[in-house]
Chains A and B, each alone.
Chain A
Amino acid sequence: NAGVMQNPRHLVRRRGQEARLRCSPMKGHSHVYWYRQLPEEGLKFMVYLQKENIIDESGMPKERFSAEFPKEGPSILRIQQVVRGDSAAYFCASSHFGVEQFFGPGTRLTVL
């Protein structure tokens, strides 16, 4: 049973470009969470989604960031017009009933 998968593992973008991060939850999981981790800081919650619905986006910046979890396919975290401050590790987690969260390996975004 494959774990949570994220791709790409590393992503380099220039300022102003778009970044798309993908997350495939564990089989049977319908809850997906996105977190951002900056060096020397903890994981910061961004958004919680269930299939086709955003449940809680209180941690996601209102501008340039969006997330979706379509009926078919992976969850996508999209960052438009990236800036250097967006450089971080982005982790996706999935769960079945919403208590235990299983994390993916992360996508490390570098903005030049």
Chain B
Amino acid sequence: QKEVEQDPGPLSVPEGAIVSLNCTYSNSAFQYFMWYRQYSRKGPELLMYTYSSGNKEDGRFTAQVDKSSKYISLFIRDSQPSDSATYLCAPRSNQFYFGTGTSLTVIP
């Protein structure tokens, strides 16, 4: 079983839609849950992270962690064409793991 599973998409939504991106993980030792955005042929950029369970909001982005079901979500409200990128979830403890990424396209 992979440490992190992420639906690769691709996901295509109209501008203004709410986007839901999800990951599952297997290691209950994970404590930090990061979300990165990666534009084509660029390095990943940290969007936000949470520690343990709960929600965290930053502008149009909300990260949610449910440790009981080992489920991580990132919600994007009022999606914009500039949000078109690949989104990587990255849970970690002392080990570093990344999901394969979900490719998102927001259509104007």
Contact = CB atoms under 8 A, between A and B. Distances in A.
Nearest to A89: B41
B16 interface: no
A35 B41 CA distance: 15
B88 A45 contact: no
Nearest to B43: A103
A42 B90 CA distance: 10
Interface stretch (B56-64, B65-73, B75-83, B95-103): B95-103
B88 A42 contact: yes
A44 to B, nearest CB: 8
Interface of B: 4, 6, 8, 32, 34, 36, 41-46, 49, 88, 90, 94-101
Interface of A: 4, 33, 35, 40-45, 48, 56, 58-59, 91, 93, 99-106, 108
